[in-house]
Amino acid sequence: MNDAAPAAGRGGPGRPGQLRRSLVPYAYLAPALALYGAFMLVPLGRATQYSLMEWDGIGSPKFVGLDNFVDIVRDERLREAFRHALVLIFFYAILPVALGLVLAALLTRSRVRGLGFFRTVIFLPQVIAMVVVAVTWRQIYAPDGALNNVLRLVGLDRLTRTWLGDYTLTLPAVGLIGTWVSTGLATVLLMAGMSKVPRDLYEAARLDGAGAVREFFAITLPAVRGETVVALTLTIIAALKTFDLVYVTTSGGPGTSTTVPSYEVYRLAFEVGDIGGAAAMGIALTIVVFVITALVNRIGGGRVGEAR
């Protein structure tokens, strides 16, 4: 993220003879920066501008100050979307990282044959396009879908549900799809971290009489703190900006029980025609993402960049 800083610092001010050379790094950066500016910063600026206006996308925009943001706080539906995003963080980030830690520890410690195969299988959901994942799971969750059929097969008829049409269960059901997707990423990241831990540390621990569980908490977990923070950051961002999964599986339903901020952005912009409100929602989401990820990095120790 802030890779640019050390590179720029090398030229160093106060040595006028090297001024020209100090510009060279910027020249290297320029193409990427121009692209980044044109496709990230300019749209962000425009979105901020729109977020302060009342505009239907056709007529002339009217400046309304922070009204659109006030609406987000006032509108129960939009607040609810943010609450759902927080619930999804549990399913997209916390659960996968917890599972990932266990899986990674098992896979690195035990000398399984065909480790590469298992790693691939666990990582596979990450590779599949989200829309495909969503369509597949929609069929699994269908009233006559695989999940209910399996339940009936083993005699658990009473547990069968309309998984995507139930007011309390649909959000967790959608969240679990996210868990399925994110676990692979978390596991592979953590496995990379664990493979760096020197073997003799474990030997030393074992000589001191530590069991597998103790080893995990005393050695493995602290060693992969950096990777854990990276995994959490990536998956939390994925949780907060979920769109495709909700759009394809439930359209935010039943009722409003699974709407998320990105879905509301889409709805406001393309269905309701409230470009200002949609932009405000987008900006608010960006801020929330920044704050939460900053918080995670703060708690996890600020040296994430190096841990990578």
Partner 1 sequence: MTRRTRTHATAGGLGGAVLLVLATVTAGASTAGASSAGSTPPGGGVVTDISGVGDVTLTVWDQEVRGGQNEQMEQLNTAFSQKYPNVTIERNSQSFDDLETTLRLAITDTDAPDVVQANNGRNMMGQFVATGLLRPLDDYAVAYGWNDRYSPTVLQYSTYSEDATIFGEGNLYGLPQVGEVVGVFYSKSKLAELGLEVPANWPAFDEALAAAAEAGETPLLLGNIEQWPALHVFGPVQGSYVDPTQITTLGLGNPGASWTTSDNVEAAAAVQAWADAGYFNEGVNGTEYDAAWQALTAGDGVFLIGGSWLAADLSDAMGDDVGFFLPATDAGPLASTGGTGLPFTVTSAADNPDVAAAYIDFITNDEAMQVLADTGNLPVNRTAEIAPESGVLADVFTVFADVTENGSLLPYLDYATPTFADTIGQALQELLDGRTTPEEFLERLEADYSEFVASNE
- Say which residues have a Cβ less than 8 Å from residue 93's Cβ, sequence separation at least 6: 182, 231, 232, 235, 236, 238, 239
By beta-carbon proximity to partner 1, the closer residue of 135 and 204 is 135
Q: What is the DSSP letter of 50?
A: H
By beta-carbon proximity to partner 1, the closer residue of 220 and 262 is 262
**C-alpha torsion sign, points 113, 117, 120, 122:** negative
Distance CA 182, CA 92 (A): 6
Interactions with partner 1, residue window 269-308 (CB under 8 A)? 270-274
Q: Which of 67, 205, 266, 288 binds partner 1 (CB under 8 A)?
A: 266
Tell me the sheet residues that pair with 53. Answer: 63
By beta-carbon proximity to partner 1, the closer residue of 9 and 255 is 255
By beta-carbon proximity to partner 1, the closer residue of 55 and 226 is 55
Interactions with partner 1, residue window 42-61 (CB under 8 A)? 56-59
Interactions with partner 1, residue window 185-244 (CB under 8 A)? 243-244
Min dist CB 147 to partner 1, Å, is: 11
- Say which residues have a Cβ less than 8 Å from residue 255's Cβ, sequence separation at least 6: 167
Buried b (16+ CB within 10 A) or exposed e, 226-257: bbbbbbbbbbbbbbbbbebbbbbbbebeeebb
Tell me the sheet residues that pair with 63. Answer: 53
Min dist CB 270 to partner 1, Å, is: 5
Interactions with partner 1, residue window 76-135 (CB under 8 A)? 131, 135
Distance CA 58, CA 148 (A): 47
Give the pair of three-digit tokens for residue 16. Answer: 């006028």
Q: Residue type at 152?
A: R
Min dist CB 155 to partner 1, Å, is: 18
Number of residues that bind partner 1 (CB under 8 A): 36
Q: Which of 100, 141, 224, 261 binds partner 1 (CB under 8 A)?
A: 141
Q: Which of 48, 254, 286, 288 binds partner 1 (CB under 8 A)?
A: 254
Cβ–Cβ < 8 Å for 25, 33:
no
Residues that bind partner 1 (CB under 8 A): 56-59, 131, 135, 138, 141-144, 161-167, 170, 243-244, 247-248, 250-251, 253-256, 266-267, 270-274
